[in-house]
Structure 1
Amino acid sequence: MIDFDVVHVFCGPGGQFGNELGVIRDGSVFPTDAGRLEVARELGFSETVFVDDAERAVIDIWTPSVRLPFAGHPCVGTAWLLDAAELVTRSGRVGVRHDGEFTWITARPEWAPMRTLRRFDSAAAVDALEVPPPGAWIYAWAWQDEAAGRVRARAFPGRGDAIAEDEATGAAAIQLTAALGRSLTITQGRGSQITTDPRPDGWIRVGGRVSQHARR
């Protein structure tokens, strides 16, 4: 039996939608990379977090096919679940702020592998996209309201594993924010919501709502 929590990250305004995240609070139960990969595949979430030091909030992030040195929705969800003031990832230390219904992290856009940011003419064009074949990691986006910084997006990891489309992706949102140089409110997937804010020193803040789905 695997003891883990499930949280939904970047939920919509009513608490619906959001990207599921599995969090294993005692990462020592799975000490090897092979074991963690097997668990991530078995659980089947877009990302699974192994907490290696709960007091310092040291985490290790896995998809069903690869380890990630940093990822946005796992950091936001784990920070909320652990009520952490900071996270330690393989890329570096992630600042955390809890602000009412939102949990925010601050990270560097270069910490995650670069996504292909593909702009479309309209939100309807993004909605109409078919899942592309495996290949590039594509973040498809369009302005819903450019003046207000409102974006429609969908994410296609392209890894060829069980995750053909990602419901809400903090790292891609961070990279889009860095490319555009402005704060954004992103509606992704079925209706998840991601909010971002570029900082003057090149760091990007990304946040959203989190809800606990289950503990298994």
Structure 2
Amino acid sequence: MTDYDVLRVFCAPNGGYGNELGVVREGSVLPDREDRQALAAKLAFSETVFVDDPERGIIDIYTPTARLPFAGYPCVGAAWLLDVPELVTPAGVVGARLDGEFSWIEARAEWAPPRTFRQYASAAEIDDLSVPAPGEWIYAWAWEDEPAGRIRARGFPGRGDGIEEDEATGAAALLLTEQLGRALNITQGAGSQILTAPQPYGWVEIGGRVRLEGAER
């Protein structure tokens, strides 16, 4: 079995919730895309990261069914684990920094996969949503406190790969921040926290807490 670490990304202030991420630190043990895809499917995390160069921050990201040029929460988790100033993804170079309890990345909205955004009138409506049928990748959201930039959200990948709801989705938060043009404090899923802030020249920062769940050897 290939060694990998399990991180929890976008944790709540108490360290709970967050989205599990698999990270294969020695990506060289599985150089072929087909083998990486097979392991990502077997691990069944929302995303799995393969580190091809830990010093330069070169990473490769997979869902259980597809390779992604960029994804938000895997980059936040990898940036925390590798402690590097930038990550190199197929989409482009992602800026990275650690600030106290938060790991931050800086990326561009055009790197994120498309999402269908559905705004609701209240956080209670978001809480009551049922998982939709497979199809579109749906990001359902509502203002909890619009002046303060606080949002309640849930993400439904709709891929039919066994992951009915994504607990914390950095790419969707990136797109919503670019759309709304303001800093956001998002509570997603069961209680994960995602922070965002627009930056000059089309960049957006995404931040959250990361913790190491364990290592599988």
Asked if TM exceeds 0.5, the reply is yes
The one-letter code sitting in structure 2 at the alignment partner of 1:174 is: L
Give SS of 2:202's match.
coil
Encode CA deviations 1:39-97: one digit per residue, 9 max, x unaligned. Answer: 00111100000001111110000000011100000000001011111100010000011
Once the two structures are superposed, the pairs formed by residues 42-191 of structure 1 within 5 Å of their partners are 42-191=42-191
Deviation of the 1:166 alpha carbon: 0.2
CA distance in 1 between counterparts of 2:159 and 2:32 reads: 22
Deviation of the 1:118 alpha carbon: 0.8
CA distance in 2 between counterparts of 1:75 and 1:200 reads: 20
Query: What is the percent sequence identity of the aligned residues?
Result: 65
Give SS of 1:201's match.
helix
CA distance in 1 between counterparts of 2:62 and 2:202 reads: 26
Encode CA deviations 1:91-147: one digit per residue, 9 max, x unaligned. Answer: 000001110000100000110111111100110101111111111110000000001
Encode CA deviations 1:2-36: one digit per residue, 9 max, x unaligned. Answer: 20000100000111110000000011111111101
CA distance in 1 between counterparts of 2:137 and 2:118 reads: 10
What TM-score does the superposition give when structure 1 sets the normalisation length?
0.99
CA distance in 1 between counterparts of 2:40 and 2:200 reads: 36
CA distance in 1 between counterparts of 2:156 and 2:110 reads: 19
CA distance in 2 between counterparts of 1:112 and 1:40 reads: 20
**4+ runs of 1 displaced by more than 3 Å?**
none
Give SS of 1:46's match.
coil
Give SS of 2:208's match.
strand
CA distance in 2 between counterparts of 1:168 and 1:125 reads: 18
Once the two structures are superposed, the pairs formed by residues 14-33 of structure 1 within 5 Å of their partners are 14-33=14-33
CA distance in 2 between counterparts of 1:155 and 1:92 reads: 24
The one-letter code sitting in structure 2 at the alignment partner of 1:149 is: G
Give SS of 2:78's match.
helix
What TM-score does the superposition give when structure 2 sets the normalisation length?
0.98
CA distance in 2 between counterparts of 1:38 and 1:122 reads: 40
The one-letter code sitting in structure 2 at the alignment partner of 1:214 is: G
Q: CA RMSD in A?
A: 0.6
Task: Indicate the residue corresponding to 2:7 in structure 1.
Answer: 7
The alignment status of 1:199 with 2:203, answered yes or no, reads no
- Uncovered stretches (5+) of structure 1, i.e. residues with no partner: none
CA distance in 2 between counterparts of 1:56 and 1:200 reads: 25
- Uncovered stretches (5+) of structure 2, i.e. residues with no partner: none
CA distance in 1 between counterparts of 2:63 and 2:162 reads: 9
Number of positions where the alignment pairs a residue of Structure 1 with one of Structure 2: 216
CA distance in 2 between counterparts of 1:55 and 1:101 reads: 22
Deviation of the 1:200 alpha carbon: 2.2
